[in-house]
């Protein structure tokens, strides 16, 4: 029997149908029916206007329905949408070339895919093939995706109940300056000693088959944790000593989000393999693996295989080219720095007036705010975080709280790079009110 569509159901019927027919895939659904989105806002079916402080799923860096993206999709889908995976089109080659132009040498070779998980899967597969090894090191609060190798390198959630992960995956501690585990005499994080101890443990567990280290320059799902300056150079040295490839996952930090085109620029390191997604498609499914000519050649000679249905699709590649156009023409790296300074000042003001704000961190327009019950003990509160999140939504602000046990007091703030100061100010005002009311009632 053919599927049919009918008039839009009532709100009650909508949620009844959602409950009956949808698989739940993580947390609870936001109890709003989203009808459309434009710029920095989403609009509900009942007419509410909600400021989007998460850029969709941390992806819509140009805001929702950006006119240039809309025009590109309309034109490209009418001309060339999808091809056999072995065929090439001009948008694909153009995007690969232009990505290389934004990156330091020797990152010149690109594989275009759809999601961050898929790009990390391909990067790990390439690293294992090229090195002839299989062991992978990642941060203990990492998130790299839900496919097999990516999920096996993910430690912030999702490991229990699914059987064995891929063999040879190891976690190292996160260099969290706000919650230091290994400290210097003055109580600050001694990240060098932490890193040395971490690799002592890796060496003790390794079977001699270390292939790669896969990490985020700023851990996002792990709570917007930015390793200290110098950390990634030291981590890269650890990799070099062991013949490992360094893979940086810039799904959320890449393409101007942090105030530079790539977050790794701050640290003066160049990864062996870079993975991109989210921001590259500005909300559409586009991802990339970028590596050197030498690594690509070695992988090719060894028979590298990553043949997927939507590899090198022309439609989303055309969107990626438009994203690069807008980022460059509108100087959104500079804008992210300027707006990031404005946002940081506003969050700092909140911290001065609300004792429950324990820490503010991040870079550019990727900010983290951690709520605590007590600033001295730094005790977090999932309940307080959930309460503030709900109140923000009531007041017209969508916030993303880290939805992990014991980490539910950390907000991930990532408005579109196209947001205005007035929109950021509106978000800060709503957040201020929500925190104030929560503290009164908590």
Q: Tell how strand 273-276 and strand 245-249 pair up.
A: parallel
Q: Which of 118, 121, 249, 250 is catalytic?
A: 249
Note the pTM of the prediction, 2 decimals. 0.96
Cβ neighbour number for residue 176 with a 10 Å cutoff: 23
Q: Quick check: is 249 catalytic?
A: yes
Q: Quick check: is 261 catalytic?
A: no
Q: Quick check: is 143 catalytic?
A: yes
Cβ-Cβ contacts under 8 Å for 56 (sequence gap 6 or more): 37, 64, 283
Q: What pLDDT sits at residue 382?
A: 86
In the chain the domains, ranked by start, together with CATH numbers, are 28-58+332-441 (3.90.1150.10), 81-329 (3.40.640.10)
Specify the 3-state DSSP secondary structure of 230.
coil
- CB of 135 closer than 8 Å to CB of 205: no
Comparing C-alpha atoms, which of 372, 292, 244, 287 is closest to residue 112?
A: 287
Dihedral sign from CA coordinates of 38, 47, 420, 357: negative
Q: Which of 109, 118, 143, 250 is catalytic?
A: 143
Q: Which of 250, 267, 412, 423 is catalytic?
A: 412
Q: Which of 238, 278, 335, 337 is catalytic?
A: 278
- CB of 258 closer than 8 Å to CB of 216: no
Q: Quick check: is 278 catalytic?
A: yes
Q: Quick check: is 387 catalytic?
A: no
Q: What pLDDT sits at residue 381?
A: 85
Q: Quick check: is 15 catalytic?
A: no
Q: Which of 252, 257, 363, 391 is catalytic?
A: 252
Q: What pLDDT sits at residue 2?
A: 59
Which region holds residue 56: left if phi is over 0, alpha if psi is between -120 and 50, else beta? left
Reduced DSSP (H G I as helix, E B as strand, rest coil) percent helix, strand, coil of the chain, to 5: 40, 20, 40
| CA 375/CA 41 separation, integer angstroms | 33
| CA 270/CA 368 separation, integer angstroms | 25
Comparing C-alpha atoms, which of 397, 365, 359, 423 is closest to residue 39?
A: 423
Q: Which of 52, 118, 216, 313 is catalytic?
A: 216
For the chain, counts of helices (H) and of strands (E): 13, 16
One digit per residue, the tens of pLDDT, for the chain of length 442 reads 556 556 777 999 999 999 999 999 988 899 999 999 999 999 999 999 999 999 999 999 999 999 999 999 999 999 999 999 999 999 999 999 999 999 999 999 999 999 999 999 999 999 999 999 999 999 999 999 999 999 999 999 899 999 999 999 999 999 999 999 999 999 999 999 999 999 999 999 999 999 999 999 999 999 999 999 999 999 999 999 999 999 999 999 999 999 999 999 999 999 999 999 999 999 999 999 999 999 999 999 999 999 999 999 999 999 999 999 999 999 999 999 999 999 999 999 999 999 999 999 999 999 999 999 999 999 988 889 999 999 999 999 999 887 666 666 899 999 999 999 999 999 999 999 999 998 877 6
| CA 226/CA 218 separation, integer angstroms | 5
Alpha helix positions (H), 132-188: 148-152
Comparing C-alpha atoms, which of 59, 52, 424 is closest to residue 253?
A: 59
Cβ neighbour number for residue 140 with a 10 Å cutoff: 15
| Strand partners for 139 | 172
């Amino acid at each position: 029997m053919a599927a049919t569509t009918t008039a839009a159901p009532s709100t009650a019927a909508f949620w009844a149908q959602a409950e009956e027919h949808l698989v739940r895939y993580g947390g609870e659904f936001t109890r709003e029916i989203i009808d459309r989105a434009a710029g920095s806002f989403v609009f509900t079916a009942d007419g509410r206007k909600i400021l989007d402080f998460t850029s969709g799923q941390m992806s819509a860096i140009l805001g929702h329905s950006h006119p240039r993206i809309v025009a590109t999709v309309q034109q490209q889908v009418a001309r060339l949408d999808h091809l056999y995976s072995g065929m090439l089109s001009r948008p694909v080659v153009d995007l690969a070339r232009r990505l290389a132009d934004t990156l330091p040498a020797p990152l010149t070779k690109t594989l275009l895919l759809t999601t961050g998980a898929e790009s990390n899967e391909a990067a790990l597969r390439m690293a294992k093939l090229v090195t002839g090894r299989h062991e992978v090191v990642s941060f203990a609060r990492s998130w790299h995706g839900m496919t097999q190798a990516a999920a096996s390198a993910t430690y912030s959630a999702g490991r229990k109940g699914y059987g064995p992960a891929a063999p040879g995956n190891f976690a190292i501690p996160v260099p969290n300056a706000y919650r230091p585990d290994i400290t210097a005499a003055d109580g600050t994080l001694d990240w060098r000693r932490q890193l040395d101890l971490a690799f002592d443990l890796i060496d003790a567990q390794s079977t001699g088959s270390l292939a790669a280290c896969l990490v985020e320059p700023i851990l996002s799902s792990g709570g917007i944790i930015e390793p200290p300056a110098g950390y990634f150079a030291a981590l890269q040295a650890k990799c070099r000593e062991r013949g490992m490839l360094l893979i940086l996952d810039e799904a959320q930090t890449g393409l101007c989000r942090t105030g530079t085109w790539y977050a790794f620029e701050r640290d003066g390191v160049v990864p062996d393999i870079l993975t991109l997604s989210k921001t590259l498609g500005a909300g559409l499914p586009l991802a990339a693996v970028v590596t050197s000519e030498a690594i690509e050649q070695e992988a090719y000679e060894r028979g590298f295989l990553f043949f997927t249905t939507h590899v090198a699709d022309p439609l989303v590649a055309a969107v990626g080219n438009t994203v690069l156009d807008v980022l460059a023409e509108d100087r959104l790296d500079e804008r992210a720095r300027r707006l990031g300074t404005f946002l940081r000042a506003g969050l700092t003001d909140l911290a001065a007036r609300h004792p429950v704000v324990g820490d503010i961190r991040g870079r550019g327009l990727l900010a983290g705010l951690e709520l605590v019950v007590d600033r001295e003990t730094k005790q977090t509160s999932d309940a307080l975080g959930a309460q503030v999140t709900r109140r923000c939504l009531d007041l017209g602000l969508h916030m993303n709280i880290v939805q992990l046990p014991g980490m539910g007091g950390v907000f991930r703030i990532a408005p579109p790079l196209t947001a205005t100061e007035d929109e950021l100010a509106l978000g800060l005002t709503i957040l201020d009110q929500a925190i104030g009311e929560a503290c009164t009632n908590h």
